[in-house]
Amino acid sequence: MHRDVEKILITEEEIRQRLDVVAQKILLEFADDELVVVILLKGALVFAADMCRRLPVKMTVECINVASYHGDIKSSGKVKFLDAKLPEVAGKKVLVMDDILDTGLTMRAVVDSLRELGASEVKGCVLLNKKKERSVTCEADYRAFDIEDEFVIGYGLDFQGKYRNLPYVGVMKQ
Ligand code: PRP
Ligand code: MG
């Protein structure tokens, strides 16, 4: 275990097993469709790479760079789109992948933008779902784990840019 980690919340093995289950659920819905997977950088990088490989469907992969935490442990309340251009999704079925649903602001802003761009369907898929009241109406259609409202790192999630490479989800030492 990394020396800055207080405890492991979700192990590599647990992640593997749950991703298999969630992938099967997604396949029930999209097995025969052409899908645009939109990965929200940077947090979703690790999760999405593992999830995409479990989905044997016709797929294109797009990335959107959004930020709302700016390295802090609390949402800034504003979602910034860092790309000049968003992917072309008009008439397409889209599955947005993110690492965590917290206030819901990020997922809400992205889903709204993709709908405005004319996507025929937009669904959300997250690794972690914080059990809390959202700042905006937003729930992910597919969720691997529900967690309490605490700050977590690893498997894509960072603290000031670090710890994304940890293969598990953990809680940081104070
Ligand atoms: C984090 C996380 C989610 C979002 C969740 O991203 O990766 O995308 O915040 O929080 P919310 O539901 O309150 O919007 P962050 O802005 O830290 O950028 P990052 O993905 O580059 O780490
Ligand atoms: Mg993010």
Q: What is the chain written as a DSSP string?
A: --TTEEEEEE-HHHHHHHHHHHHHHHHHHHTTSEEEEEEEETTTHHHHHHHHTT--SEEEEEEEEEESSTTSSS--S--EE--SS----TT-EEEEEEEEESSSHHHHHHHHHHHHTT-SEEEEEEEEEE-S--SSS---SEEEEEE-S--EEBTTB-BTTB-TT-SSEEEE--
All structural domains of the chain, each given as residue ranges with its CATH number in brackets, are 12-148 (3.40.50.2020)
Q: Which residues of the chain are modeled with pLDDT < 70?
A: 71
**What is the pLDDT at residue 76?**
76
Point out the catalytic residue in the list 102, 112, 141, 149. 102
pTM reported for the whole predicted model: 0.95
68 alpha carbon to ligand 1 midpoint, in Å? Answer: 6
Q: Which residues line ligand 1 (CB under 6 A)?
A: 40-43, 67-69, 75, 98-106, 158
Q: Which of 69, 81, 103, 152 to mutate to test the pocket of ligand 1 (most atoms within 8 A of CB)?
A: 69
